[in-house]
Structure 1
């Protein structure tokens, strides 16, 4: 039998990564992955000989996964870089096996609501990112005319809120503004991504400040998400636009989404590691590091989210990394109403999800589908990222799936040592992360200078 012929590719830098466990779009198998320059040029049999001039890397039984794509990250830079920044956020991402990040348009000053603001954001990020990094635009009152120019400038889509965002410089859209934004985006097939909570229901819910998590949970009821999703389904169906529901925590919205899909409505949905791995029953009173909006809900609700993932109704799992300084979490009073809402988890998403996925009988191929291929497809990057296959970027996460570690916030790469996962034991240690065929992180630390690229929505993409 003739030996396989390795493909050529565009550059002279050739590598061969070999593992007994390579996760490909067809499942997990032993394989040798050929990389030329920044690109995967072939996925070959495990025992393929190493040709002259090719650098071999034998990963043994560690799992070679496609690098994670995280399309929901609040970098907060410029303007609130004391909360986070491009260097620290992308270092945390790389340490956790994430190779592509898409930055949210708010919590930075200025927000990404016009092309001049996008230029500021890009200039701030340039030369400081350890991962490939792109940008969402924002849809806010009064910027309908800015949406097409932002789209043409390469943002991946447009985020909006239906209620107060938490920062005054990124106000919500009322129903008329929401319709106007989606109508404009539909003209050029742009994507609207929505924080889906209904303000009327939340305004009518009991608002009791203090340290009791049950009181905070009651202030953000599931009905607020369900009502908002119902409205988005109706609007997307009527206008024919593309809508994506961000950070779904309420399983009550799932039947609405399933029915909409059957009727051809173009609506997708994500959830987050904290909704899949943490439950309301285990949140201690006063533990404001668990506060996020929408909130972490009960175990039975979590079970339904997992079933929706297994059924393919939920499209992807992304972090919603929304950090802040320690003081904004108000740990002194433990007041959930006063604390900043956001879970810091960018470095921990892969092991957190894998720990629970394995317990529920899922595989690393499932995790790759949810955390690599799904987000890449959402962002229009599905032809180059999110899979180990010929022609894709050579972005990898190398995981020791059976090793465990205990989360120490002080050892994480993001800027402030606050996380809801502190003290938890997780399965799956990220040994190394590869971006464009080169190691950018190893054993929880970045290696070398930032080597990530600033990326744009592909022509014809979302």
Structure 2
């Protein structure tokens, strides 16, 4: 009898609303059969994950491959594979030029097809001034969403977009169906506070948090919510660090605003004490918050008010971080995360009975796919890509910063142990990580185009 499928997977299948013991038949990289229980499906390859969870392939919507020149698609996508991430979205703040015009975008998309080992979608951005004419061409070229900032990190690469440009961008993006996403911090308050702190010699690690109090996040978010209300454009708030922000977003949803939000794993798993303990290693923007604020974020997660969790993978080399050892303001912000987020979050939720596997899948795969309209990704469903993250709930892991795929061999999670090891990562039916090593060459990964590429989704801009 001829094999029905290229590959058959058996295990504890985490479907959209239930976990079932069953089998999945895969052909040509797609899910072609989902069977509850023993089905006797036959395939050229048969993978038995009997006591392990077969999750839909995890999606990380917030990754920085090119914020420094040492990383890139190969290194980051290898890290993603080891971390159980089958698809990620790469941010547009590349060195030396941001992805704010269609030529640069197309060049970057081509690189994926040569360099990546998992699938990758791309964010685009707009220039500080007079860049909105590129929005429609970028959407048509396959941008998944547009990222902007209310905080100026770099005038050219990572600028603060003026309010009139934000409103214009939201109005144009409304026609494409794509989301406008924001790094939301009030830089007028922050820069003045940093200046005052430096004058007074207050440059200790926790000063990073003290100069970015919650109001610097909530005031920026409130403005964006109001812009979204008046333009009708879709909004997404990245790396939410404070429960008050979530409350404001819930309020504006009642006003009819189409707004989604993410938090990042460090905001749930660390608090400001990590800045004292680890210094620049634990510096990110927005900063880590007080323990009671972290608890508030968990409460919002349990209430179902947080759509998804991302890594904000920002891999700075050790020497760049260490410049802040004597003055926290000198260190770059961000930490590597695409490789360690899934096991750390599984250990902190499913392994402890805090979330069900289905709830975990929603935060890490289903919702990311829905919020950003990622075609054929994020669910175990017929004719979807055969992307799976296999987690053994009984196998332990230890985070070892010296063994990270990233060139940034540093993490405040170094030495942490947990339950829930990623034992296999499968992209379009092919194992890209077998629990020990990467099993495909760069170039296996594909560029995943955004939803505006699909003709029915794009209203032609008049």
TM-score by length of 2: 0.92
1:91 corresponding residue in structure 2? 78
Please give the residue correspondences for 1:34-433 in structure 2 after superposition, counting only pairs within 5 Å.
Answer: 34-51=25-42, 53-76=43-66, 80-82=68-70, 84-141=71-128, 142-166=130-154, 168-207=156-195, 208-209=197-198, 212-285=204-277, 287-330=279-322, 333-358=325-350, 359=352, 361-381=354-374, 384-433=376-425
The runs of 5 or more residues in structure 2 that have no matched partner are none
The runs of 5 or more residues in structure 1 that have no matched partner are 1-5
Q: Cα distance, 1:443 vs. partner?
A: 1.8
Residues of 1 paired with 2:342 and 2:155: CA distance?
29
How many equivalent pairs are there?
447
Q: Cα distance, 1:170 vs. partner?
A: 2.9
Q: Cα distance, 1:316 vs. partner?
A: 0.7
Secondary structure at 1:205 match in 2: helix
Tell me the alpha carbon deviations over residues 276-321 of structure 1, each in whole angstroms, 9 at most, x when there is no partner.
1111134335621110000111222122222222222211111110
Q: Cα distance, 1:198 vs. partner?
A: 1.4
Which structure has greater helix proportion? 2
Tell me the alpha carbon deviations over residues 21-70 of structure 1, each in whole angstroms, 9 at most, x when there is no partner.
2111022121111111211112102211133x543211120111111111
Residues of 2 paired with 1:245 and 1:110: CA distance?
23
Q: CA 1:164 to 1:349, structure 2 compared with 1: closer, same or farther past 3 Å?
A: same
The answer on whether the counterparts of 1:15 and 1:35 sit within 8 Å (CA) in structure 2 is yes
The answer on whether the counterparts of 1:243 and 1:268 sit within 8 Å (CA) in structure 2 is yes
Secondary structure at 1:284 match in 2: helix
Residues of 1 paired with 2:457 and 2:88: CA distance?
17
The answer on whether the counterparts of 2:112 and 2:446 sit within 8 Å (CA) in structure 1 is no
TM-score by length of 1: 0.92
Q: Cα distance, 1:352 vs. partner?
A: 1.1
The answer on whether the counterparts of 1:379 and 1:461 sit within 8 Å (CA) in structure 2 is no
Q: CA 1:402 to 1:212, structure 2 compared with 1: closer, same or farther past 3 Å?
A: farther
